A and B are shown apart, each in its own frame.
Chain A
Amino acid sequence: MAPIKPRISVEYAENATIVILTDERILEEKDIQALQESIMSVIEQVEQINLILDFRNVRALSSAVLGLLIRVSKKIYERDGQLRLCNINSRIYEIFKITRLTKIFDIYKDRESAIEGLPAED
């Protein structure tokens, strides 16, 4: 069996949980499923999470990742949490623009601006 690669690393700021996507390319369904499970388990650890997804390492993704992000956002909003995305490079940002997902995701330039103004996590 192929070894399980790390998909995310998690860091904690005062009012936010920061999930850094560690893979450069997120394309395969199996990888996307593994990524989703990892992120969902982080969300479940906090009642009302302020989750920041950091894309600093991501150089390529498929439309299936966009589906994953929508599932993640639904889960967070059901639990009255907040989701913010940051450090998205210009090529990946173009994908968000083309699909108009810039309308439904809060996208910030960097981690510092994404953290600003978040309420305390419960």
Chain B
Amino acid sequence: MASRAPITRTVAVPSKPPAIVGVCRRILSEIEAYGFDQEDLFAVHLAIEEAFINAIKHGNKMDANKEVKIDYSVNPDKIEIFMTDLGDGFDPNSVPDPRRGENLYKTEGRGLLLMRSYMDVIEFNNQGNRVRMVRYKEKPRLTETHRKA
């Protein structure tokens, strides 16, 4: 098979939940074309949906005039996605663990846990309004920094 050239794209998405559907579909078809399997597609789909909902709800406060910027790149080894909102940001370490105690019965607060579980790398910028998500096709040994990110 001829090797495919890496893809790099930037998309600006309005802060409306349905707006991510087409973007997500395109990204998934691109990674599928690179040989990512159904497990990868499921994981990336879930992470994009959760990150986008966080960005429009907590970042852009559902302001339809504000956009979420998505920069992504795909190559035969990995997909890397940056998602940036126009909010003040947050401290990801301040998010309560939804698996503990009474949090288990809360109706919100599981998105970040799922993003961390399904992507190999989740990192935020200092301001907390941009997340970097990476999923590798073949799993590398992750460093301790990545595990804690």
Query: What does DSSP make chain B's interface, helix, strand, loop or mixed?
Result: helix
**Across the two chains, which residue of chain B brings its CB closest to A74?**
B105
Residue contact B110 to A70, C-beta cutoff 8 Å:
no
B105 proximity list for chain A (CB < 8 A): 70, 74, 104
Residue contact B113 to A28, C-beta cutoff 8 Å:
no
**Is A95 interfacial (CB-CB < 8 Å)?**
yes
Question: Which one of A11-19, A44-52, A58-66, A107-115 is at the B interface?
Answer: A58-66
Residue contact B114 to A64, C-beta cutoff 8 Å:
no
**Is B107 interfacial (CB-CB < 8 Å)?**
yes
Instruction: For B17, give its contact among A28, A60, A66, A99 (CB under 8 Å).
Output: A28
**Across the two chains, which residue of chain B brings its CB closest to A60?**
B45
Q: How far apart sit A64 and B117, CA to CA, in the bound complex (Å)? A: 16
Question: Which one of B46-54, B120-128, B132-140 is at the A interface?
Answer: B46-54
Known: A63-B50, A64-B53. A98 touches B17 (CB 8 A): no
Residue contact A99 to B113, C-beta cutoff 8 Å:
yes
**Across the two chains, which residue of chain B brings its CB closest to A98?**
B117
**Is A100 interfacial (CB-CB < 8 Å)?**
yes
A104 proximity list for chain B (CB < 8 A): 104-105
Chain B contact residues (Cβ within 8 angstroms of A): what range?
Answer: 20 to 34
Query: What does DSSP make chain A's interface, helix, strand, loop or mixed?
Result: helix
Q: How far apart sit A41 and B135, CA to CA, in the bound complex (Å)? A: 41
Within the complex, the shortest CB–CB distance from A78 to chain B, in Å, comes to 13
Question: Could you list 30 A-B pairs, sorted by A, with CB under 8 Å?
Answer: A28-B18, A29-B53, A30-B17, A30-B18, A60-B42, A60-B45, A62-B46, A62-B50, A62-B53, A62-B111, A63-B111, A66-B107, A66-B110, A67-B108, A70-B105, A70-B106, A70-B107, A71-B107, A91-B39, A95-B46, A98-B113, A98-B114, A98-B117, A99-B110, A99-B113, A100-B104, A101-B104, A103-B104, A104-B104, A104-B105
Contact residues of B with A, CB < 8 Å?
17-18, 21, 39, 42, 45-46, 49-50, 53, 98-99, 104-108, 110-111, 113-114, 117
